[in-house]
Amino acid sequence: GQQLNQSPQSMFIQEGEDVSMNCTSSSIFNTWLWYKQDPGEGPVLLIALYKAGELTSNGRLTAQFGITRKDSFLNISASIPSDVGIYFCAGQSWGGGKLIFGQGTELSVKP
Amino acid sequence: KAGVTQTPRYLIKTRGQQVTLSCSPISGHRSVSWYQQTPGQGLQFLFEYFSETQRNKGNFPGRFSGRQFSNSRSEMNVSTLELGDSALYLCASSPILTGADEQYFGPGTRLTVT
């Protein structure tokens, strides 16, 4: 199935460090969404981006919609243990509906 | 406001059987999408319903089907189950269907086919 290229696949960091992950696509998207998934649960929406170049923050999280409309990144500042989980990017074409997901970035935070 | 609910949370079925999964969207949300999540393929789109009509469909065989009721609740059905259908099935609802919409996921139904 179709997937976005998300990197890195996994990260092991120390508490307090900043984290950066990104997604790239060969297709243009109208919307970029970032989700976090904990074991045994569904993905939780973190940030939604709707315009090329848009930079949006949600607490310690910051995400940007790439100018080319083919990429997006997510930064987490001053990581804490509860940031542990799998982060997914998702792109959506004009018209809404179907989301195309990245493979996920598994984040581990050492206290 | 209550989130997306899915029932059952866990299910074990035998090859060849069929299964029906249920999803209740967030109150006021009219669009419901279904996704399959497996370790190998990740999150893959199954189909989307809006106003009781299937609007989009992913690349899954015809054994996978769904429907939406007038109260926006949705069900998906998988017939003639195969071992490879073992997965976490996620339902997501969104408030509107425009050029861009945020989707909110339920906790999923973990289906195991033996």
List pLDDT tens digits, range B95-109.
875 555 788 999 999
Q: B26-44: string of b/e by CB count within 10 Å (b at 16+)?
A: beebbbbbbbbbeeeebbb
Enumerate the β-bridge partners of residue A56.
Answer: A63
pLDDT tens string A93-108: 877 678 999 999 999 9
Q: Which residue has the tokens 């069929």?
A: B18
Beta-strand pair B87-94/B104-105: antiparallel
Burial of B4 (0-12, 13-18, 19+ CB in 10 A): buried
Beta-strand pair B31-38/B42-50: antiparallel
**Residue in A3, A30, A96 closest to B97 by CB:** A96
Provide the CB-side half-sphere exposure for A29 (13 A, CA): 30
Mean pLDDT of chain B: 93
For A89, the closest chain B residue by CA position comes to B43
CB A110 within 8 A of CB A15: yes
pLDDT, tens digit only, all 111 positions of chain A: 677 999 999 999 999 999 999 999 999 999 999 999 998 899 999 999 999 999 999 999 999 999 999 999 999 999 999 999 999 999 998 776 789 999 999 999 998
For B110, the closest chain A residue by CA position comes to A40
